[in-house]
Each structure stands twice: as C-alpha cells, then as structure tokens.
C-alpha cells in the first residue's frame, strides 16, 4: 500500500508513536495549509494504525480586482436581513441567466475562475447537480458581457464528517484489506477555510482518514447584486473540476 501511494501520488509516509501522533498530525496540517488550518481533526486512539492526510492550498488574485465599497449591502438570509460590506467592480465576464438562476464567471487567470451562482427564488442548497451542470455548460459557452458585480467579502470555515456521508452512500467502512489485513475506517473528516477579498481568494482544504485495525457589443452593464444566499465554485476552467464549492447563506457568519 505504501509503495502504491508513493508511486501514484508521490506521498511520503512517516511514523509516530501514539503519544506524538496528535502533534505530528497538527504540524503536517499547519505546514501544508500555510496556517489556514492549524489543527488536525483526527482524535487519536490506540486502535489507529494509519492516518491519511491530503491538503489542497489555493491562492489567486482576481484578473480584475474589486473595490471595497463604503456602502453597506442588505443581505437577505432566511432569518432576516444583515448588513455587510461589499466588493464592487464593473467586469467583462461570462454571464448567464435562466428561470432558476443567474451566474457570472470571475477569472483569476486563463485557467482558474470562480462561478458565483445566484438562485432566483430558492436556497442554493436546493440546486440540483443537473441544474449546476447546465449552468456550467452555459457559462462555458457564454460570451463576455459588461457586468456590474456587487458581492460581500467572506471568511468561511467548515468541518464535515465524511464518515457519515460515506455510510449514507453505502460504502462498507469495515473492509479495507487493501491497506492491511482487518483495516477499517475509524474517522474521516474534511476541514475547509475559504477567504474572498477585493484582491483575490485564499483557501485550504484538508481531508483526513484514520484507519484502524478491526478487529458581446458595448452596452449598459448587467447588474449582478449578490444580496441573498448564493453558491461559489472555484474551478479549473480547462477541466471544469471544482476546487472549492461553498454555499453562503450569511456572509457575516464565520461558518
């Protein structure tokens, strides 16, 4: 198993005594997320034989930077209205609109972009995979338009128990003998930090699995005002592969 992950993923293996496991995991976490995520989410126990850690670190400036507007934006959440600071800019970017949503693609460079998807009258969590795929295809084919984008900055933190999701998908977590005999998944956790500012976006994602032994023409700019819950997708435009996917229901909240 260690030979395979070295060959295919260039992943290194380190050994740690049980008493030093948490400091070792925390050190790897802090280093490989540039301090955006400081602590491992794995809770050590004596049955753990292996911990897999995988980190994604992202930092990019906007192709056209925003201005921080002194005017506040009324952002409408399910619980009421909150006031938030705003980022604003008139940008030549890809824009699409359907009965269900409108969306813009904001470029960092030639290959990286953020899609901001604003549902017409629904919670972003209710957007289906089919609707998102249709939106992606429309944005990919769209011509650039002049769009006045107004959106809140955000600083988001999330933590997800992947074990529950894997079990929901029907994955048998008790049989991972390809790692070692009687191997089973004890913990699976993902942590994410995503910061969007006038200059650009910084983000980190850490996934950890603990394995135990079981036993267009010039025209008036379109106004794109992000004043209600929305979805952000940071992606590689060459493949469409999403690096970060976030639903923002309240930009004033930290998680």
**Alpha helices (H) along the chain:** 2-9, 21-32, 129-141, 162-168
Whose CA is closest to 114, among 125, 122, 103?
A: 103
pLDDT in tens, 97-128: 988 899 999 999 989 999 999 998 778 888 88
Burial readout 81-95 (b: 16 or more C-beta within 10 A, e: otherwise): ebebebbbbebebbb
| pLDDT (tens digit per residue) in 39-62 | 999 999 988 989 999 999 999 999
Dihedral pair phi/psi, residue 204, rounded to 5°: -145, 145
**Does 218 have pLDDT greater than 70?**
no
Instruction: Measure CA of the first residue to CA of the last residue in the chain; give whole Å.
Output: 36
pLDDT of 215 over the 60 cut:
no
Q: How far is the CA of 211 from the CAs of 7, 96, 131, 233, in angstroms?
A: 20, 45, 36, 31
Q: Which residue ranges make up each domain of the chain?
A: 2-55+155-213, 61-154+217-248
**Any idea what DSSP says for residue 143?**
P
Q: What is the CATH architecture of 61-154+217-248? A: Roll (2.30)
The pTM for the full model equals 0.86
Q: Tell me which of 254 and 202 has the higher pLDDT.
A: 202
pLDDT of residue 216: 47
**Per-residue pLDDT for 94 more than 90?**
yes
Max avg pLDDT among 30-34, 174-178, 247-251: 30-34
2-55+155-213, which class in CATH?
alpha beta
pLDDT classification of 255: cutoffs 50, 70, 90: low
Please give the residue that has the higher pLDDT: either 38 or 72.
38
Mean pLDDT of 214-227: 73
Contact status, residue 198 vs residue 153, Cβ threshold 8 Å? yes
């Amino acid at each position: 198993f260690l030979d395979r992950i070295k060959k295919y993923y260039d992943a290194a293996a380190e050994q740690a005594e049980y008493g030093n496991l948490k400091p070792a995991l925390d050190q790897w976490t802090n280093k490989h997320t540039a301090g955006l995520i400081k602590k491992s989410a794995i809770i050590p126990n004596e049955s753990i034989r292996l911990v897999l850690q995988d980190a994604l670190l992202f930092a990019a400036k906007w192709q056209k930077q925003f201005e921080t507007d002194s005017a506040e934006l009324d952002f409408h959440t399910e619980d009421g209205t909150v006031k938030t600071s705003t980022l604003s800019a008139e940008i030549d970017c890809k824009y699409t609109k359907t009965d269900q949503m409108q969306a813009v693609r904001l470029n960092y460079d030639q290959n990286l972009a953020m899609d901001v998807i604003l549902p017409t009258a629904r919670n972003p969590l209710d957007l289906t995979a089919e609707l998102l795929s249709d939106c992606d295809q429309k944005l990919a084919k769209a011509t650039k338009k002049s769009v006045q984008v107004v959106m809140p900055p955000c600083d988001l933190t999330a933590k997800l128990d992947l074990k529950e999701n894997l079990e929901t998908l029907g994955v048998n977590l008790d049989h991972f003998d390809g790692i070692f005999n009687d191997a089973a998944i004890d913990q699976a956790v993902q942590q994410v930090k995503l910061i969007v500012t006038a200059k650009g976006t910084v983000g980190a994602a850490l996934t950890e699995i603990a394995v135990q032994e079981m036993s267009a023409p010039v025209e008036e700019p379109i106004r794109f005002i992000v004043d209600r819950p929305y979805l952000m997708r940071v992606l590689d435009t060459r493949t469409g592969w999403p690096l970060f996917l976030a639903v923002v229901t309240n930009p004033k909240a930290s998680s």
